[in-house]
Structures are given as structure tokens and as C-alpha cells.
Amino acid sequence: WVNYLIGGTKNAPDREGLHIPVDLSLAFHSDAGTTMNDSIIGTLGIYYTHKDDGLYPNGASRDLSRDLTDLVQSQIVSDIQALYEPEWSRRGMWDKAYFEAHVPEVPAMLLELLSHQNFADMRYGSDPRFKFLVSRAVYKGILRYISSQYGLPYVVQPLPVESLAVQFAEGGKAAVTWSPVMDSLETTAAPTGYVVYTRIDDGGFDNGRYVDKPCLLTAQEPGRIYSYKVTAVNEGGESFPSETLS
């Protein structure tokens, strides 16, 4: 399906397809092997370069797959070791013809994050906080790869805000406050502003109101239910939303 998407673009000019440019392909797996004890299996990265004289149809080197794999795997392992498990294992990188690694005609990585058959891995793999950390690491690795290919600086999107609170204020208004969350692993992820989304009664949330400080004083009509959620923003994008308070 990757090759069908890129057919007719500069990546695959002689292939039929949808003419949709694609920078890379990443297959997310969780079958990194088994062990007879309870030690951590860890993360494996797979790519493939030994095809068509080591070149993609557009003439680019298939070593780009190795670059992608190295960046993503390094990001995952370093973030897990820093915030979750210092003993998390980097199992190395394989240059082998696994299907998801050698078929796409764009730089491709087959990620074996952990082993879903292994208790020591899955005690983390079942934790939603770990899933968020790993997913963010994959995103950051991809972002760094794209940045290197286009020669552009990158900014990582902020983390979600915390400590959201809503209190009644004078004049029937509501005071919405929250605290930004700094990313200890990524200096560029600091928020430069926030978006406050409001819902009235059972309606949908509005398109949001931008503010540059972690607070908002907003009017409310008596007898209505007002709900609020907040995101952090910077040049890299918008964070996941906070919880919703009413």
C-alpha cells in the first residue's frame, strides 16, 4: 500500500498509484523475541539495503533506511532509559529482508519495540504512560529524520498541561487556570501559548481561544453548564488536550 500511494511521484515515477508523496514507512511490531527467564528483551530495529544496487527508484541511497532506524531506535531506548527503565535493552539493528523493511520504495523501518510474550517487557508495555512515552519517542525520531532530510530545524510539540482548575470569579465569570509541563528530554518542546476550548451544555467544543499565559477569565451565563479543556502550543504543533472540567 505504501508503493501504491507513492506511485507516480518522484519517489516512484514509473509505478502506477495515487501520486501521494510519502517520506518514509514505519511498521510498529511487538514481537522482538523470547527468553527463558524474566529479563527484558528490549527494542530491535530492522531495515534493508541490499536491493536494486542499494538505491531507491528516485536514486536515493537505501542507507536512508538505516539512518531512519538508528534515529528512531536511539530515541526510544534513550527516552525509556531516562524516564522508565535504565536497564532497557537496545538489541541492535538488522539489515535483513523482512517484508515491511524491503518492500516499500521509500526509507522504511520495521520496529520491534518489545516482546509481548515476555513479562518483563509487558509490565511496561501495558502501562499507558509507557505507551505515551514510546509513541512520543517514535514521533521525535521521525521528526529528526525528516528535519535532516530537508535541512530544516525542528520543534517538538509540547506536553499536555497539568493541574487544570476552574473556579467561580466575580461578576459571574469563571477563572480557568493550569500549569505548563516542561519536557526534561527536549528543550524545544516548551509551550509558547495555550488554546482554551469551551463547550456549553451538551454542544460541541468551540474552535478554541488562544492565550499566552496559563489562565483565562471568561464570562458565563447562569443556568448553563460550561466545560473547558486546554492544550499547549508552539511552533512544533499542539499538545494532547488536558482533562475536561465543568
Per-residue pLDDT reduced to its tens digit, 147-161: 999 999 999 999 999
Q: How confident is the model at residue 54 (pLDDT cuts 50, 70, 90)?
A: very high
As to burial, measured by CB atoms within 10 angstroms (0-12 exposed, 13-18 middle, 19+ buried), residue 36 is exposed
Helix (H) or strand (E) holding 129: helix 128-150
Q: Distance (Å, rounded) from C-alpha 239 to C-alpha 194?
A: 9
- Residue 38 pLDDT greater than 90, yes or no: no
Q: Is the dihedral of CA 62, 64, 66, 69 positive or negative?
A: negative
Which among 29, 43, 55, 146 is positioned nearest to 93, based on CA atoms?
43
Q: What is the pTM of this model?
A: 0.91
Q: Distance (Å, rounded) from C-alpha 14 to C-alpha 16?
A: 7
User: What's the confidence (pLDDT) of residue 21?
Assistant: 94
